Every structure is written in C-alpha cells, then in structure tokens.
Structure 1
Amino acid sequence: MKNIGFKNNVKQAGLYLGLLSLLIVPSSCDQSFLDTDPQGKQAGTVFWQNEGDATKAVNAMYANLRGWNNTAFAAIALESVGSDDAEKGSTPSDATFFNDYDNFSVGSGDGQLGGFWSGQYQNINYANQVLDNIPAISMDETLKARYLAEAKFIRAYSYFRLVRAFGDVPLRLKLPKDATEYNIPRTPKAEVYAAIEKDLTEAAAVLPLSYGSSDIGRATKGAALSLHAKVSMYQQKWQQVFDLTTQVISSGQYSLFPNYEALFRVANENSTESIFEIQNELLPNNKDVSNSQYSQVQGVRGVTGGGWGFNTPTTALANAYEAGDPRRDATIIFRGETTPSGDAIPAVGDNPMYNQKSYVPFALYTTGFNEGSQQNVRVLRYAEVLLMNAEAANELGNSAQALISLELVRARARGTSKTILPKVTPTDKAALRTAIWNERHVELAMEFDRYFDVIRQGRGEAVFGSKGWKAGKNEVWPIPQNEIDLSAGVLVQNPGY
C-alpha cells in the first residue's frame, strides 16, 4: 500500500535540520565544513523546540535511509557483488572499481568504502540527534517514547550493517559534546552487537504492532523483533533467534504474499509480508522527494525507463534454483524475455541478466526523474523470519518445527508452478541445515544478504575462494583509509589490508 503522505514528509523534514543534518564522522577532527550555512534550512540553534520539530527530525532520519550511500553503489559494492549471486554489470569500462570487490582485491582507498561508512554514520547521527534532543521537548509523552524507539531501531539497523561489513567499528551512542569526543577508536564487535541488541530490545518494548495509513513504513514492534533475530543469528544465539521469530510469527501481523513476483512490484509495497521497507516515492511535482536511485542503478540497460545495468545476477545464481521454481524468473530478468508487466527485453545488450526485484515497469517512468525512483527497498520480509525460525529450530534439535517453517516458504514458492517443488523431508541436522541454507539462497537472492550469509555460515572459502576470497582477511572489508588518516591513526586497519 503506497502512502504518499509519510514518504513526502520524510523528505521534507530534511529541509529543516540545517546544520544538525551534517554528518558527524566518528574519527574526524576537521569540522571546517560546519562553517557553511545551507540556504533555506532552519538553523539548528532554533530547532528542537516543540513536537513539530521532533516530527521533522524523525522523518528526516527515515529520509536519509534512501540516500545514495545507503542504497546505491556503496551498498552494491559492500553487500552484493562480492557474493556468487551478483557481478558488476553495465559495460566493461564503466565503474570498474566494482571488479575489485568481486575479486577481493579492493584497497582501503576505494571511495565506496567511505561512502558506505559515511552513509551508516549519517543514519546514526540522525538517530543520536533524536535520542539526545527529543527527551527535553514538551510534547505528547506517548509519541515521544515512540519516536525514541524508532530512532533506536534505525541506529541498530545501521550499526548492524557496519559491524557485519567491517567488524569492530567506533560505537557512538551520544552526540559529541566537544572536539575531544570526535576522534574515538574502534569498539570490539561484541560490544557493538550488545549495543545493537539493547537498542532493539528497548525499541520492541515501545513500538506498536502496526500503524494507521498515515504512518505506514515506520518501524514497528515486528521490525525490531525481526532485526533482533537476525542480529542474534549472526552471533549463533539460536535460542534467542527462535524465541524472537516465534514472537513475530505468533503476533498475527504478517503473512506470505501469495504471488512472489508481484510482491516486489510498486503496487504491492508495504504488503502483508513486509516487515520493514525503505520508503521511496515519485511525485511528479516534487523532484526532491523523488530522489531514490536504488532501482535506477540496477535497471535494464539500454531501454527507456530502464536504468544503468549494475549489480547483475550471475549464471551461478540462475543455476541454483530447482527445476520449476518460479522464483528464478521472478528474481532474474533474462535477455529476450517479456516480463510479467509486459516489458519486452531486447535480446541483445550489454548484460544477459538483470535484477528483477529492483525492477519497475518501464511504463511508470516519468521523463526527467530517476528511473524507478518509486521502488521501495525491502529490508525485512516475513519469509526471512520463517527461514530464521527454521534454522534456529534445526540448530536446537527441533527438526519438526524447522520443517514446518521451511515448508511454508516453499509452499508459497510452489504456488501454481506446473512442476511441483518437493517437500523437504530430512530430519538429520546437517542435511536439514543445508536445505535451509539453500532455501535462504534462492528466496532472498539479490536482496543484499547472500554475501554475509555465506560468511556467517563459515563457508566463505568454499563458496568464494575461486573468486579470490581468503580466510582471515575477507570476512570483513577494509576500514576506509580516509577515516584512518582523519583519526591520525586512532583507527587501525583490518588485518591483511
């Protein structure tokens, strides 16, 4: 269900944050950029006065999630092309830096590292501003508590993306009070994970199960519980994963959307399967709101309404599906096909395949706007909750429950397919684990999880070794060299880089 009101407001709020909207880089000492006074923005010194200011600040926090460094090149580089599911795409000479992530030769000076780092710390900075400033505002106390919980969710989400990409990262839970607090060292990842879990526990205790139509897209209790389960899964806290996913399943708030392919179309955003999505919109009279490039950078290259053609599926991914699995054609746009939306894809072009999950039908293109700017980014889906529940149940020795949750996902995928996907039946823990991992692979393909899934499973060398991946080094990416330089050595590089 589309909700233009919330989507519009989350962007408009960014115009009011003024100086407070600028990034506070955790390691940087040089704050000369603060001297610039952005025109048309409300000065930070007169902000944080009332409930309206609080609302604008929270909405601006959400708006930042859809920015370039959160959803475009940096995210593709660090969260997708290193996997066996995706490669650079586009033309061979365009954005060749992606190849360095694909073959694990990237150095610490590459700009996408800094972009990803900055994007996450911008989100954290927005959240910290909310958490530090809203408590003193005289406003509705229930709304205040909810806003603080939403900020904790966003902060936890960004720290999760950071810790799985870099390992130890600077942990900043308060705005710096003076220049001495800007330059802080990396915090051990165990402490970062503990902070993430604390934020999510506190957020889940306050956030509502659902919202009215004017607030669809905000973080819910289910979003906090689901992200907490995912964070716990990366730490192999299997009982916690099982308990948290069981809470989400038992809440009755979610169900699998019947049509897997249609699930990812614009008309079905924020569906019954959606747990959290980054909200994007195309408003013909407002280009500032219509700024997402998530779909544009991955769209079919060389056609009007398509895109740039980056982050393309691999042959290995195409071959990973069982015969008759409709998720294959719902995930991959092949050259020469006609999409379910009626777009004829030219048989000849730069790339043989494109990401169908980020695809927006060409007829929805508006001249002068980014292609596909109305496409939301699916961050957490109910299908993943079921698969986390299955994996945790299996690790705890409860194969019966694992098979129940796994079958729900396969049954939806099976749908009306002429070739029926068989039920998974083995109860042996190792065999069932493999089956669940395979299901995650095809169910969540091209959703920016495969790379980190393989690493957390301890299979990095087995799956990515032929691409150049090395144990003891490539579990994490290098810390951006610019951040190390700005810190005067307070930040130290990851081993091997």
Structure 2
Amino acid sequence: MKRNIIVMKINKLLLLIISILTLTGCSDQLDLQPLDRLTVDTFYNTRSDFDGAIFASYSSIQDFWGTSTETLSERGEFWKITTMITDDLSANNLSNVDQAARDADALIVRAADKPYASIYTQIYEGIYRANLVLANLDGENELTAEDKTVLGAEAKFLRAWFHFQALKLFGTPPLAMEIITDINSQALPNSTQADLYTAILADLGEAASGLPVSWDSGNTGRATSWAARSVMGKVKVFQEDWAGAITDLGNVVDSGPYSLMPNYSDNFSFLSENNSESIFEIQFGGPFSDDNIWVFDDTHSEDFKASQGTGRAYYWEARVGLGAPGRRGLGWYVPTQDLIDAYEPGDSRLAVTVIQEGEMYYAVNGGATVEAPFDAAWSDTGATPAKYFGQENANPSNYSPNLGATFNNERWFRFAELKLLYAEALIRGSGDQTVAEQQINDIRNRAGLPDLAPGSDLLAAMMQEKRVELAMEPHRWFDIVRWDIGAAVFGGDWDPKLEVFPFPLSEIDRSNGLLNQNSGY
C-alpha cells in the first residue's frame, strides 16, 4: 500500500483528538476544533476518510517493531518476546544488548517488563481503531453499500487478527468488540478462550465473505478474502479443530492464489515484496514517505520519519563497533548453534538465514553498499542473521537517510507456513497422509532437499521443517508452547507459566481488580 492519499496527512494529534471525541461521545461540551475544524462527525464521511481510519489500525501493527524515546522507550519489543526468547537466537554478549532483550533470552518474564506493556498497548490500539470504523459505518456518510461491506469486512479482519495475537500472547485477554463511551468504564475483564475463538472466527468469516479476492496496485498489502480464509485456518489449528483447519487450509492450497516463490531468498528481498507467497505482509514506506498509508508515526514525533520503517537493520546487523562494515548495526540478535545444527547438509535455507565466518557480509554506509568477509569475532556465536539482509537488501534506497531504519516489509504469513499448517492438521486430524507428506516435500524440495524417506515420522518431519523454514520469524515461540515442547527445548530453564505471558502490571492496576493476572506472575 504505497500511494498518496490526502487523508494520511492528518497527523497524530488529529487522530488523538478524534479518539478523545469518540470516547466522550462527541459531547457538545468538548469544544475542540482540530486543525481545519475536522471532527469525528465530519471526518467519517468519504471513502478516503474511512480508508484513512482503517489504515490507522494497520499502522498499529507496524508499531510492534517500533522505536521510541517518548512513550515506553520501545526498542523493537516484539522481536524480544517472539524471537530472542526462542532457541533460534541469543543475546550477543559482545554487544550492548538492552536488559529487556537479555531477560527474554534468559526466559525471565515479569509483569512490569516493557515488552508486554508495549505490545498489549499496540494490540488494543489496533482493535480500538478497527472498532472506530465499524462504529461509524452506519452514520451519515457518502459510502456506497459496497464500500460499507468491504470496509466492515476489513475492520473485522483486523479486529480478529489483533485478538488472535492477544490470545496467543496472553491466553485469556479481554474481548473488545465495541467502543466504550463511558470514560470511567474503560477496563474490560478476562475473556475465555472459547469466547475469543468464537469471536475471532466469526469476524474472519465475515471478512472472508466481504473482502475482495485482490486489490489494485494502489492498495497493495490490504487484507483480502483469501488472507482471511488463510488466517481462519491457522486459528483453527491453534484451536485444534483439525477438521475445520483441513477444510479451510485445503481450500487455500487447492484453489487460492498463492504459490511458493522459486527461491527461498525471494521472500525476504526488498526487491520482491508482496510476492506470490505472501499472504499477509506488514508494509513499510520509503525515506520520509507519507506515501506509506499505514503510517501515523504512533511511537514518535511526526517529524521523526525513520519511524516509518523498521529498526531491523539497527538492532540485527552485525555490530559496527566490533569491526563490521556499515554505520548503525548494534548486533543484538545472533543465531544459536542449535539453530545452525538444525539444518540438514545441503539445505539452501541455511545460507539465507545465517551468515558464518568467511561468507560475504553486506551493509550500508552513507549512500553506498559496503562489504567484507564475515568475522566470527563480531558475534559470540560466530554467526549473524542473514534473513532480510544480504546484498540485495544492502541497498541505500532500502534505508532511511540516517540509516536507523529500513523499508523492507515484514513477511508475517507466508504460503510456506500455511502448507505446513495444512500438513499438521492432516497429520493430527487423521486426514490424507499422502497429501500431508506432499506439503512437507514441497517445502523441502525448494530448499534443495530430497523427499522424505519412506516411512518417515510425518509429525516430526513437519515440526523440523517448520523450525528451519520459519527460523527467526515470529512463530517459533508459539509452536513451542502449543506443541508442549518447552521442557524438551529449554530443559531446566523451562517454567510452565511461560505458556502465556503476563498481563502488563500497568493494565492490572488500571482495571481495579477486573483483569486477573495469569498464574505465576
């Protein structure tokens, strides 16, 4: 989604004022006139207005990886609790890794820690913004019936998507299905998992029915009906509704528009965003770009345009202070030897995922690409992440002018993952095992590996492929939890309470006892 829309020029202050007006029921006593006298009553009028409002919900996803010195002092918090915390990565002891990342690496999780407050806030901000759209669709406006159907379906996709993230992270988070206008009754209680799954799947069902199968090039990245069907299938895998998952995921595999990219590396290249393997992708813009219509600069001042990218290069690139080329790399995240050892000989994904000694390392300094053979002394594991990096991505146009951000999209849900989810549902749900095996072999063959040997344990093979295919993407932790392999992966460091994260202490305090903390925190 990289086109200019005038409504996206509305700055963060206007969004805040709109939120306040809605929360207070647009009281006549609140006599605020934002900017050019735009109010909630006049804002939700044209299709462009509603597009701008729905993009605000998308922008809350970008903030998962946001950097700020003005709110909670975020430093890409979502990476810490979905990737650093896994057996794929560790904190680089040769770098000045922040304490929250070190704690996640050590499985130290506390209710007062910054990552949980940050992500909880972004999730419910995104839900709130989706609910704002839904609450205003039936007011006086210029929308056609088709507009209302599509926008309502899109808002419900986003509301379901955010609730699903909250369920995976916190177990029994609140279910927020409407705007609460009473400022004194903002707190919500825990929901049950049964109610959460019911609401999520209902929203996704309406999204699948109401969204288009594709968008024009000016709206690339917006959710489609196929994306909704895909997420619905994934939700059912987590719910262990194997029959439902087989139906939904099988429909996408057999009839959907997705296909595996010829080269695994295509999925992480700045030059091949939104490709045929991408089901849902987090969009980032270019330098100083208000052309990225997901962006409201939520975690920093409006003039800090680097916030429109992701800090992946800043936190993940090899540490410049240890001699690595480039300008800004901190080298916080380094692959574990356990991850490297998980790859079979001949697996082409290893070189796309991990850079090891002697392999060429690329970065950006000034306006030029720089390179040097990787030196194992730059990392305490002797390796550094390669996924989302490499020569194609060390492109100055992929970096903000201060080199603090890159604009390569985050690939959230890929067709390769869906095929492995389909295989899992077939295996666990006693479906067609030949079809399940084919899904696994499709993934292996692209990586240059042969078909599974006859008689292979398909469940173990699926779990193995999922780890190496999706290494360092935000899925491994949730697989560890739902497969109940925490003790096998982490040994004596595992604590069963980690099956869910704590609700932020700040939210517990604000709820005045309405929101109950997860056990053990």
1:470 aligns with 2:495: yes
Alignment of 1:149-164 (within 5 A): 149-164=153-168
Paired letter, 2:331: G
Give the aligned partner of residue 451 of structure 2: 423
Tell whether 2:479 aligns with 1:412: no
Q: Which of 227, 236, 241 is the matching residue for 1:237?
A: 241
1:213-257 deviation line (CA, Å, top 9, x unaligned):
111110011211111111111111111111111111122411111
For structure 2, list consecutive stretches of 5 or more residues without a partner in the other structure.
Answer: 24-29, 68-74, 291-303, 363-368
Which of the numbers 209, 214, 222 marks the counterpart of 2:213?
209
Q: Please tell me whether residue 63 in structure 1 is matched to residue 59 in structure 2.
A: yes
Instruction: Give matches, 1:305-324, under 5 Å.
Output: 307-324=329-346
Match of 2:146 in 1: 142
Q: Distance in 2 between matches of 1:411 and 1:23?
A: 55
Amino acid in structure 1 at the alignment position of 2:412: V
Equivalent in 99, 109, 112 of residue 109 of structure 1: 112
Contact 1:300 1:306 survives alignment (8 Å): no
Match for residue 31 of structure 1?
Answer: none
The 2-side partners of 1:125 and 1:213 are apart by 28
1: CA distance, partners of 2:505 / 2:241: 33
The CA distance in 1 between the partners of 2:86 and 2:255, in whole Å, is 34
Secondary structure at 2:137's aligned position in 1?
helix
Cα pair 1:292 1:370 within 8 Å, conserved: no
Residue 367 of structure 1: CA displacement?
6.1
- Residue of structure 1 equivalent to 2:48: 52
CA, structure 1 residues 86+123, in 2 after alignment: closer, same or farther (shift >3 Å)? Answer: same
Cross-structure match for 1:378 = 411
CA shift, 1:355, in A, is 2.7
Q: Is the 8 A contact 1:17 1:42 kept in 2?
A: no
2:512 is equivalent to residue 488 of structure 1: yes
* Structure 1: gaps spanning 5 or more residues: 26-33, 415-420
The amino acid of 1:382's aligned partner reads: F
Give the SS at the match of 1:318. Answer: helix
1:19 and 1:213, CA in 2 relative to 1: closer, same or farther beyond 3 A? Answer: same
Hey, what does 1:263 align to over in structure 2?
267
Of 118, 124, 135 in structure 1, the residue corresponding to residue 127 of structure 2 is 124
| Count of residues paired in the alignment | 476
- Normalized against structure 1, the TM-score is what? 0.88
In 2, Cα distance between the equivalents of 1:464 and 1:36?
Answer: 54
Tell me what 2:84 maps to.
81
Q: 1:376 to 1:366 in 2, by over 3 A?
A: closer
Give the direction of change, closer, same or farther, for the CA distance of 1:367–1:226 in structure 2 (3 Å limit): closer
Residue in 1 that maps onto 2:26 = none
The letter for the 2-side match of 1:349 is W
Residues 100, 153 of structure 1: alpha-carbon distance in 2 compared, 3 angstrom cutoff: same
Distance 2:418 2:282 in 1: 18
The letter for the 2-side match of 1:477 is F
CA distance in 1, matches of 2:474, 2:98: 19
In structure 2, the residue matched to 1:100 is 103
Moved more, 479-488 or 299-308: 299-308
Distance 1:150 1:318, change over 3 A: same
* 1:149 CA drift (Å): 1.1
Amino acid at match of 1:269: E
What is the match of residue 434 of structure 1?
460
Equivalent residue number for residue 378 of structure 2: 349
One-letter amino acid of the structure 2 residue matched with residue 65 of structure 1: I
CA–CA separation in structure 2 for the residues paired with 1:314 and 1:86: 5
CA deviations 1:150-192 (Å, max 9, x no partner) are 1111111111111111111111100002134312211112211
Q: What is the deviation of 1:21? A: 4.9
Quick one: distance in 1 between partners of 2:487 and 2:249? Answer: 30
SS where residue 439 of structure 1 aligns?
A: helix
Do the aligned partners of 1:23 and 1:118 also contact (CA within 8 Å) in 2? no
Q: 1:150 to 1:427 in 2, by over 3 A?
A: farther
Q: Distance in 2 between matches of 1:355 and 1:162?
A: 27
CA positional deviation for 1:323: 0.6
Task: Give the match's secondary structure for 1:354.
Answer: strand
The answer to whether the 8 A contact 2:316-2:332 is kept is yes
Matched AA of 2:407: Q
Counterpart CA distance in 2 for 1:150 and 1:289 is: 27
8 A contact 1:145–1:206 mirrored in 2 = yes
Q: Which moved more, 1:206-215 or 1:72-81?
A: 72-81
* Alpha-carbon contact 1:24-1:121 (below 8 Å) kept: no
SS of residue paired to 1:4:
coil
Q: Distance in 1 between matches of 2:10 and 2:306?
A: 11
Which residue number corresponds to residue 17 of structure 1? 15
Equivalent in 295, 299, 308 of residue 317 of structure 2: 299
Question: Between the two proteins, what is the percent identity of the paired residues?
Answer: 32
Cα separation, partners in 2 of 1:388 and 1:10, compared to 1, 3 Å = farther
Tell me by how many angstroms 1:40 deviates. 8.1
Cα distance between partner residues in 2 of 1:179 and 1:300: 47
Letter aligned with residue 469 of structure 1: W
Instruction: Report the CA distance shift for 1:78/1:328 in structure 2 as closer, same or farther (over 3 A).
Output: same
Q: Which moved more, 1:331-340 or 1:451-460?
A: 331-340
For the residues of structure 2 that align with 1:401 and 1:195, how far apart are their CA atoms?
Answer: 31
Q: Compared with structure 1, are the counterparts of its residues 371 and 9 closer, same or farther at alpha carbon in structure 2 (3 Å cutoff)? A: farther
CA 1:178/1:470 → structure 2, altered by over 3 Å: closer, same or farther? same
For residues 103 and 249 of structure 1, the distance between their equivalents in structure 2, rounded to whole angstroms, comes to 38
User: What is the aligned counterpart of 1:288 among 286, 297, 305?
Assistant: 305
- Work out which of the residue numbers 437, 461, 472 in structure 2 matches 1:403: 437
Post-superposition CA distance 1:275-324 (Å, at most 9, x none): 11010011356563862224233233314255332333211111110011
Distance 2:275 2:440 in 1: 21
Instruction: Report the CA distance between 1:9 and its aligned residue.
Output: 7.2
- CA–CA distance in 1 between the matches of 2:485 and 2:21? 36
Do the aligned residues in 2 keep the contact of 1:159 with 1:192 (CA within 8 Å)?
yes
Deviation per residue, 1:131-163 (Å, 9 max, x gap): 111232331221221111111111111111111
Change (3 A) 1:384 1:41: farther
**Alpha-carbon distance in structure 1 between the residues aligned to 2:441 and 2:427:** 13
- The aligned counterpart of 1:187 is 191
Change (3 A) 1:356 1:36: farther
Gap change, CA 1:189 and 1:262, over 3 Å in 2: same
* Alignment equivalent of 1:392, drawn from 425, 438, 447: 425
* One-letter amino acid of the structure 2 residue matched with residue 120 of structure 1: I
Cα contact 1:280–1:290 (8 A) shared by 2: no
Indicate if the aligned counterparts of 1:163 and 1:192 stay in contact, CA closer than 8 A: yes
In structure 2, the CA distance between the partners of 1:35 and 1:139, relative to structure 1 (3 Å rule), is closer
Give the C-alpha shift of residue 457 in structure 1: 0.8
Deviation at 1:273, TM superposition (A): 0.7
SS in 2 for 1:87: strand
Q: SS at 2:228's partner residue?
A: helix
User: Are the structure 2 counterparts of residues 186 and 367 from structure 1 closer, same or farther at C-alpha, using a change threshold of 3 Å?
Assistant: closer
Contact 1:125 1:175 (C-alpha < 8 Å) held by counterparts: yes
The 1:300–1:93 alpha-carbon spacing in structure 2 relative to 1, beyond 3 Å, is closer
